[in-house]
Each structure stands twice: as structure tokens, then as C-alpha cells.
Amino acid sequence: MEILTEERIALKLKEILSKAERHVYICSAWIRGDTLKDLLNDLKDNVRLEVVIRSSSFEDMNTTDPHFFSLITRKGGDIFISKRLHAKFVIVDSKFAVVGSANITRSGLEKGGNFETVVYTEDIQEISALEKTFELIKEESYKLSDAVALVIDSITSRTGRVILLKELDEHSYVKIPISKGNFLLCRIFDIRSFNPAFGTESISEGGFLKRVFTEKEESWKAAALFAKMAECYEVKEAKVEVLGEYEESKDLFKTPFTPLKAGSPVETLKEEENLKAVLLKNHSGYPMRLPVPVGKLQGTNAEAFLDMEKVISMHMAVVGATGSGKTTFVKKILKELKEPVKVYVFDLYGEYYEDLKRNRNVRKVSIPNVLFPLDSEDMKRIIREGGLILSERSTEEKTVISLFKRYLRPDLNRTVFNTKSFEDILKEAVLLVKDSSLGDLLLETLESLKNSFGKEALRNQSKVVRMLKESLNFKEGIVIYDFKETDIAETSINIAGLLLKEILKISKRDASDKLVVLEEAHNFVPERGTGDIPAGRENLAYISAKRIAMEGRKLKLGIVAITQRPAGISKFVFSQLNTRIVFKLISRNDLEAVSPFFEVSREDIFNLLPFLKPGTAYVSGIAVPFSFLFYMEEITSR
Ligand SMILES: Nc1ncnc2c1ncn2[C@@H]1O[C@H](COP(=O)(O)OP(=O)(O)OP(=O)(O)O)[C@@H](O)[C@H]1O
Ligand SMILES: [Mg+2]
């Protein structure tokens, strides 16, 4: 041990620092860059530098100058700030230490400065104790490089204002540490940049602006404004929204109850460490049971997931304008859905099979163009298209209609089409009324329908029924009902209705996970009064889908309803779809239909909807830990 004073302090420090091989720990309440630079002249590269300084009032930063910070940053060191630090010591490689009264400042170390005394020691035990003290000080200090912003104040319990310390993009994800390993997950939005130097005083006094804007010479005016702006500096303020609280020891993503505190540092998220854990939770905060990747969290490289278990139990809506990426998205999740979930896809345009067959064991059922009335009302509508309006005025008409009523049942096992074709039924009707003019009219109608829809469309019914029944026993994980060939809208809806009814029955017997994908869902479950498709009683697809939406949770049968027209889908069914994927939307009606899914703090995202690129969407609801924007990466296998 040696006691040192005057110039010998700096000399000793230089000497031990030049000997450093592994690490240097410095505590000094105040540090001047120049003074430290002299000491570190002979410091070898790759020596780890950790420095704690005091930061309890702005005064401290008048002494500890910017040069010090750039010096440490250049050397790859870490700076910690402490509110209570007053100690001054330097430890080198756990071998040499200097402890005393001198700060690393001019008055602390340079000739003619303060009277200082320090102790130099090589006592391993003492140095080890000093290192422990260093650790304790560090623990209570803040590591500066982590901070990207500071909380100024809170606006509501879940939003606040921050001042930015580094460049951040709109919609960045950040964290506010609460305690070791625990943090508030937050989102930055509404970034505002302003120039305090071009502040209110120059405007209110009128001096500067008056001088500039009363000048007639335009170019001088411009030059003067540029000159004023050159004096200005930019400050960025933003809003921060708390999305949830992560508790590391329980691996839980909780409702945030910790209030935002003014002065709290805001830090960048570590994608691997922080985001991964949270993105694999569902809305309950617990780990997802059936996670499927959907794309990347907007503004990050982190994979985002959906918990398909929650989709199966509580359904999902996928909405967006045409070409926004809905079908691409649903195909992607079906490819990723690895568990033995049985999927039935109602594919109106034949877009699924080719893509899915590469990854999954799929079976396609091609529905031919066929007339498929489910009841006498459907039948009357079709006959009207063939040119004959049937009412129940005459006895003959009553006879014919009662035949239709007897034969046509909205049930796959009870419909007459199990054994007879559309043509057969019409011919039977003709026989019943053969001596009347109605018989001739019916025959004419039959010919006219053959011309309009093709002979097969009137004869194929039993084949279709057989096909549908068989498809319900397929062993493949995904069954695709391809309606590409069907250009009779009512047929698609009726067949979907029959199938949905059967799928519901199957689910009651067999409790394994099942999923129904309904493309163009507004056709199957329309809101009353929109379009020309009947809602309510007559529409079997509507009745069945509604029942699935209500009972699906118990049956483990989920619906994924895809639509370009969220405003056109039954509000009742829509409200049961507890996970929502919203792609680009333009029309005001449709924007209004999805607006309830955007909380007040999400106004910025809602306003972004018309501008979203294909493949970018907003997800909210119970299958995700918090609502977020995500983007699908370009899908090449198209
Ligand atoms: N990252 C992306 N992910 C998905 N699709 C993308 C992406 N980038 C561009 N696209 C384009 O967007 C289109 C999305 O088409 P998709 O059929 O999925 O839309 P849709 O919403 O189902 O439309 P529609 O309502 O007409 O059925 C793709 O054909 C593709 O060309
Ligand atoms: Mg589509």
C-alpha cells in the first residue's frame, strides 16, 4: 500500500492503466474528457471499460463534458450514471487499485489543482472487496446506452409522452424496465418534431417575423428565414402506449397495472430476449397452445404468431379490400398449422388446392355447375328464371308446389337429390298436371333451364350429394370444396349450408379440433338487407354458420370468415369472431364496420388502413398477446 499526492496520483493511474490486460473499472463522480484521455493514452485495445459517474443534477453534466462520453463510446466502454456516487477509484484487472479523493478532472489530477490524497494498493483481498462495491454501485446505477427516450409525463393510465434521445420510427416497439427482467412493453407513436429556437417568443414579439415578412425583396426574405432556421435545433417528442407487462420469473404477459412514471427511461427491445417470449403468448398472457407464424411484427424482424387454439374456439375474421392479401394469409396459416386440426375450406375461386398440396395432405372436391334448390321457395325462384312464375292460385299449381315441398329438404340425408335429379322432379311434376296447360309450361321451362345452365346442371344432383357425403369421411387434414365451376351463386350457398350443417353434427360426436374457412363470407352470412342473397330463415348457410359461431367454443369448431366487405357481413356473426385480421380497407362503410376493433390509442393505426400495402395487416383479439401490425414477407410459391 502507498499513499500518493500531487502529480504522483496521475502518474500512478497512467502506469496501472497501461498495464491493463482485461478490464478497467472507474468510479469518479465527475470526469473531464481531456484529463481521462491523457490517462488512457497507453490503454491497450480490447480492455473492457466500465465507468460510473454522478448524475444527480444538471450541474454534474457541466463538469462531466461530452468529450468524456465520446471517448468511452469510441473505446467501446459502458457508462453508468448514479444519483448518489461520490466515491473515486480505479481498479485494473483485479490486481491494482487507486482509491482516494481525486476525481478525474483538472482540479483533481492536474498540477495546481485541489489537495488530493489517494491510496494505491495491490492487496488482492482489498481489491476484491472494492470490486464488490463497484458491482453494488453499478446495480443501483443506470446503463446509459440502453436509453432511447425518457418519459416526460403520463396522459392516461396506459399512454404517456416521451422525449426521444435517439432516432425512432413511428410504431417502434420499446420497453420501460420495472425491475430486473420485468418490463412494460410499449409502442411509440405520434412522433412530433419541433424547434424550440423558432419558438413562440419570436412570433409573439413580432420582431423577427415582422422584420422578415415586411421586406419586399423575396430572396432576402428566404435567406433570412434559412438563417434563422440554422440557429434552430430539433427536439422530438412522441407518445408511448403501454401494451402489457412482462414478468420474467413467471413468463407471464400481464395486464399492465404499473403506472408510467415521469423520468423513466425507455429502452430498445431485444428481439430475441424480450419480444420472442411475449409474441408466443395469447391474450390471456399464457403460452400459445397452437402457435402459427403469420409474419413479422411491423418495424422489427421478430416473428409474430397466432394461437390457432383461440381461433378454433373463438373464430376469426379476415377482412380487407380486394388484392390486399387475405387469401394469401389464410393459405399461409393453413400451411403452418401442423397439429391434427381438420380443416374444411369453402373455396369460391379455386385458389387453395395447388398451393396447399405442396405442404399438406389435402383433398379437393370440385363442385360442378349444378342447380341445387333446398326448398320449394328456391325451386320457385329457379323456375321463374326459366320463365314461369308459380303461385298457388290454381289447383295444379298447388299440386306442383306441394310436390316440391314434400321432396325438397334442407338436409343432406333427407333431400330428394339422394335418389332423384332436378330433371326427374320437374318431369314428375309434369306428369301430375299433364292434362293442364301448366304441364306444357313446365316442360318449356325445363328446356329453357337446360339451355341456360346446361343439361348436366339439371341431372348431376345425386352425384353431387354422393360426393358431398363421401367428402365428410375423408381422412385428409384439409378438405377443399372448390366452387370454381359453379357460377350459380345460390348453389354455392346451399351446398355450403348443407355441409356446414353436417360439419356441426360431426363436431357434436367427435371433439377433435376443426376449422371452417369461408371465403367471401358476406355471401354466406350476409347482414340483412345487403345484396340479393337471402339472410335469415331461408339461408341454411347463414343458420349453420351462426350456430357454429355461437356454439363453436364447446364443439371445438372454429370459423375463419374472409370478406372484402366487413359492412356486408351479419353483425351478429361478426361480433362472434374474436380474432380480427384487418388488411387495407378503403370504403368508409367498411372502415366503420371495423372501427370498434381500434381503441382510442390506436387511432393512428386506424388512419393508416387505407394506405396499407398488400400483405400488411392489423391483428387484434384473443389469439394474440396485444394488437399489432404485421407484414407477410413476399410469398414466392405463388
Ligand atoms: N407480402 C405479400 N404477401 C401477400 N401478398 C402480397 C405480398 N406482396 C404483394 N402481394 C400481392 O398481393 C396479392 C394478394 O392477393 P390475395 O389473393 O391474397 O388478396 P385477397 O385479399 O384475397 O383478394 P380478394 O378479395 O380479391 O380475394 C397477391 O396476389 C400478391 O401479388
Ligand atoms: Mg381472396
**CB 327 less than 6 A from any atom of ligand 1:** yes
Label residue 534 by pLDDT band (50, 70, 90): low
Exposed, middle or buried: residue 581 (CB in 10 Å: 0-12, 13-18, 19+)?
buried
For the chain, what is the radius of gyration of the CA atoms? 37
d(CA 495, CA 468): 9
**CB 218 less than 6 A from any atom of ligand 1:** no
Q: What is the mean pLDDT of the chain?
A: 91
The residue whose C-alpha atom lies closest to atom 27 belonging to ligand 1 is 322
Q: How far is the CA of 351 from the centre of ligand 2 (A)?
A: 8
Q: Percentage of residues in the chain with pLDDT exceeding 90? A: 76
**CB 325 less than 6 A from any atom of ligand 1:** yes
Is residue 309 pLDDT above 90, yes or no? yes
Atom nearest to 325 CA in ligand 1:
18
Cell of 222: 428566404
**CB 326 less than 6 A from any atom of ligand 1:** yes
What is residue 538's predicted lDDT score, i.e. its pLDDT?
60
Is residue 195 pLDDT above 60, yes or no? yes
Tell me how long the chain is: 638
Interval 317-334 mean pLDDT = 96
Note the ligand closest to the C-alpha atom of 319.
1
The better pLDDT of the pair 581, 206 is held by 581
150 and 165 Cβ atoms separated by less than 8 Å: yes
Tens of pLDDT along 582-616? 999 999 999 999 998 888 888 999 999 999 999 99
Is residue 353 pLDDT above 70, yes or no? yes
Label residue 529 by pLDDT band (50, 70, 90): low
Is residue 69 pLDDT above 90, yes or no? yes
The better pLDDT of the pair 338, 227 is held by 227
Q: How far is the CA of 522 from the centre of ligand 2 (A)?
A: 13
Question: What residue type is assigned to position 328 of the chain?
Answer: T
pTM for this predicted structure: 0.87
Q: Which H or E element spans position 360?
A: none
Outline which parts of the chain fall under CATH 3.30.870.10: 2-140
Exposed, middle or buried: residue 60 (CB in 10 Å: 0-12, 13-18, 19+)?
middle
**CB 324 less than 6 A from any atom of ligand 1:** yes
User: Of 67-76, 200-209, 288-297, 399-408, which gets the smallest average pLDDT?
Assistant: 200-209
Label residue 635 by pLDDT band (50, 70, 90): low
Top mutation candidate among 319, 322, 326, 328 for ligand 1, by most atoms within 8 Å of CB: 328
Tens of pLDDT along 486-517? 988 889 999 999 999 999 999 999 889 999 99
What is residue 638's predicted lDDT score, i.e. its pLDDT?
43
Q: How far is the CA of 496 from the centre of ligand 2 (A)?
A: 17
**CB 322 less than 6 A from any atom of ligand 1:** yes
367 and 487 Cβ atoms separated by less than 8 Å: no
Ranges 139-148, 358-367, 618-627, most confident? 618-627
The better pLDDT of the pair 469, 530 is held by 469
Beta bridge partners of 153: 161
Interval 355-359 mean pLDDT = 87
Q: How far is the CA of 570 from the centre of ligand 1 (A)?
A: 24
Is residue 200 pLDDT above 60, yes or no? no
Interval 243-250 mean pLDDT = 93
Interval 106-113 mean pLDDT = 89
Q: What do you get for the CA distance between the two ends of the chain, in Å?
A: 76
Is residue 536 pLDDT above 50, yes or no? no
Is residue 231 pLDDT above 50, yes or no? yes
Interval 289-298 mean pLDDT = 94
Tens of pLDDT along 142-179? 999 889 999 999 998 899 999 999 999 999 999 999 98
User: Which is nearest to 240 in space by CA: 160, 173, 165, 163?
Assistant: 160
Q: Which H or E element spans position 186?
A: strand 182-194
**CB 160 less than 6 A from any atom of ligand 1:** no
For 2-140, the fitting CATH number among 3.20.20.140, 3.40.50.300, 3.30.870.10, 3.90.76.10 is 3.30.870.10
**CB 635 less than 6 A from any atom of ligand 1:** yes
DSSP 438: H
Tens of pLDDT along 3-48? 999 889 999 999 999 999 999 999 999 999 999 999 999 999 999 9
Note the ligand closest to the C-alpha atom of 325.
1
| Alpha-carbon distances, residue 200 vs 162, 192, 208, 227, 233 (angstroms) | 21, 17, 11, 17, 14
Tens of pLDDT along 563-581? 999 999 999 899 999 999 9
| Alpha-carbon distances, residue 364 vs 337, 352, 472, 478, 482 (angstroms) | 18, 9, 12, 8, 7
